Amino acid sequence: MKEIKIINGARHILHHTKKYSEKEMITRSKVFYNEMNSRRSIREFSSQPVPKELIENIIKTASTAPSGANKQPWIFCAVSDPEIKSRIRVAAEAEEKESYENRMNEEWLKDLKHFGTNVQKPFLEEAPWLIVVFKKIFDYDKDGTKLQNYYVNESVGLASGMLITAIHHAGLVTLTHTPSPMKFLSEILKRPDNERPFLLLPVGYAKEPVYVPDIKRKKIKDIAVFY
């Protein structure tokens, strides 16, 4: 039976946190860092199927993210239908072509050069799953009245980070893809007017062998300041 306490007029339940020694905590933090440091963005996917249950568990993990006033302003659309994936690829490549030719300045194109990317996005069809993250800029109640959501971008950004972490932890790979604008995702997936596309993630197993750009992460001294 849950232990309940009223705090400032609101119902709270007792939360039990796991206890570790300081040594265990440092070890656990190092092990998890090493696991996540092996994560890379992958653009070549195997055709090996991924069980729907695995995708469901990954999405459920993402949904544990904190959100403004616990509004949970996110929707995760998981796409495995080949026809829908094909339509998404065609629309995404059209937007990418426009970006490469007219939207990106010379500095942007130069920064992308060492990744070897172009307008072709075959991974949008090759990956067994696409997860499209939508942010809900507001909600509707059962009577159709608009309900306010808070810190939507921050909340959905946190959930997306946990989604990527869960994908890697499960042994799958992904790539953060943000063709801009992304309105075509709303149209293809027939999403309601209170949702906006936030992120597109192809998800699956990496093709073997797979090669990734030879890049380095910044060192701790370049990303953190201790006072």
Tell me which residue of 198, 177, 182 sits closest to 45, measured CA to CA. 177
pLDDT at 95: 93
- On the question of pLDDT at 107 being above 90, the answer is yes
pLDDT at 113: 87
CA 195/CA 191 separation, integer angstroms: 7
pLDDT at 36: 97
The secondary structure of residue 180, as a DSSP letter, is S
CA 35/CA 170 separation, integer angstroms: 11
pLDDT at 85: 98
Query: Can you tell me the mean pLDDT for 183-190?
Result: 97
The structure tokens listed for 99 are: 């970006």
Instruction: Quickly list H helices, 44-102.
Output: 52-62, 82-98
- On the question of pLDDT at 178 being above 90, the answer is no
Query: Can you tell me the mean pLDDT for 157-177?
Result: 97
Report pLDDT digits (tens) over 145-158. Answer: 999 999 999 999 99
pLDDT at 187: 98
CA 143/CA 149 separation, integer angstroms: 17
Q: Which amino acid is at 207?
A: K
Tell me which residue of 40, 29, 44 sits closest to 167, measured CA to CA. 40
Mean residue pLDDT across the chain:
95
User: In which band, very low, low, confident or very high, does the pLDDT at 1 lie, cut at 50, 70 and 90?
Assistant: confident
User: In which band, very low, low, confident or very high, does the pLDDT at 114 lie, cut at 50, 70 and 90?
Assistant: confident
Report pLDDT digits (tens) over 18-73. Answer: 999 999 999 999 999 999 999 999 999 999 999 999 999 999 999 999 999 999 99
Domains of the chain: 40-211 (3.40.109.10)
Q: What is the edge-to-edge ordering of all strands in the sheet holding 129-136?
A: 74-79, 129-136, 195-204, 173-174
